[in-house]
Amino acid sequence: MKDFVEDIAALDHGHARFMDMLTDQYTMVAVHTLQAWEGKTLADINSNLDATKVLLQQIASTAGAQGFADLRASAHSCAADVIAHLEGPDADLAICLANIVHQMDGFVGECRHLLDTQG
């Protein structure tokens, strides 16, 4: 029974750490997306999109490990769209596509909703 109680405590701690991390990470997703949208140079735009991609991949990984399959799928989908842009025909143009910004806005909203309901 003692091991079971310790396992539950560890899960609760992991859940709380994930929620704290998610707050920081979704905020940075929003910041980097906005900086990409407002960027003037190819380097500014693509480096911010790359940072967004890395954060989304981290969120997808940890969300899956914490049992948040929907958030994992959403983060993975967003990251895939950023990768497609960075590796696609517009990768050498100094643009950030509006659909990426719109998708990130929806993702940030999903994170906020999860935190409001689970936090």
Domains in the chain: ranges and CATH: 2-118 (1.20.120)
The percentage of residues in the chain with a pLDDT greater than 70, rounded to a whole number, is 87
Side-chain half-sphere exposure of 48, counting CA atoms within 13 A: 25
CB 77 within 8 A of CB 47: no
The pLDDT, as a whole number, for residue 73 is: 98
For residue 75, give every residue at least 6 positions away whose Cβ sits within 8 Å of its Cβ, in sequence order, or none. 56, 57, 59, 60, 63, 107
pLDDT, tens digit (0-9, with 9 covering 90-100), for 35-92: 999 999 999 999 999 999 999 999 999 999 999 999 999 999 999 999 999 999 988 8
* pLDDT band at 9; cut points 50, 70, 90: very low
Report which secondary-structure segment, H or E, holds 67. Answer: none
Residue type, 7: D
Mean pLDDT, the chain, whole residue set:
88
Maximum alpha-carbon separation in the chain: 60
The pLDDT, as a whole number, for residue 97 is: 82
Only one residue has tokens 């380097």, namely 43
36: nearest Cα among 109, 115, 100, 112: 100
